[in-house]
Structure 1
Amino acid sequence: MCDMSGKATAKARDERLEARVSRDLKALFQRAAELQGRTLTDFVIASVHDAAVRVIEETQTIRLSAADSRAFAEALLNPREPNRRLKASVQRYLKLTGA
């Protein structure tokens, strides 16, 4: 579960997630958790949550080059006239829908 800020909340913690890590890696995680004043579990959950949100946001964001961005803006500001095929499609649609 997440609250409005996107942070994990303690609600509905009925699922279990396990991972085997080296002693050194666990010590690193434990040290980081202590520095944040969290339990190891809370630190791991928050870290994985933040990483998951970041990955999802990054994959859902469209990035355009400067040239692509200009071309997109130009197309919005100055759209081309509809061609014959598009006009015919609109007419077929209007006929089918009775509009």
Structure 2
Amino acid sequence: MNTTTKEQARFDVRLSKEQKLFFEKAAYLGGFRSLTDFVILTVQEKAKEIIKEKEQIIPSEKDSQLFFDAITNPKAPSKTLKSAYEDYNSYNNFIPL
């Protein structure tokens, strides 16, 4: 028999009675089966949002650094780039103004 089980972990939290009642009301009004379902789904959605935002910012910061480095410390043009520049200039010399 091949069964797969998910490993589970426990997460305990202490909160005031007012907070618990407030969260239970939100869970009930939101149509959740339980306070646990409400908390898990709400926290999971917020976690996804935070991770997505941060994962977008990190590459953006790296891209900014690469761009800044390229502008402040440019490499010498390659043979291909020089050739393209010469082709462009020779083409523009034939265009009547």
- Structure with the greater relative contact order (CA < 8 A, sep ≥ 6): 1 or 2? 1
Shorter-normalised TM-score: what interval? 0.5 to 0.7
Name the structure 2 match of 1:62. 57
What are the Cα deviations for residues 6-53 of structure 1, in whole angstroms up to 9, with x where unaligned? Answer: xxxxx7362111100001111111001001121100000001101111
Gaps of 5+ in 2: 80-97
Root-mean-square deviation (CA, aligned residues, Å) is 3.4
User: In terms of Rg, which structure is larger?
Assistant: 2
> Which residue number corresponds to residue 76 of structure 2?
83
Between Structure 1 and Structure 2, the one with more helix by share is 2
TM-score (norm 2): 0.52
Q: 2-side partners of 1:53 and 1:41: how far apart?
A: 18
Which stretches of structure 1, 4 residues or longer, exceed 2 Å deviation after superposition?
A: none
Consecutive unaligned residues in structure 1, runs of 5 or more: 1-10, 76-80, 88-99
Q: How many residues align?
A: 63
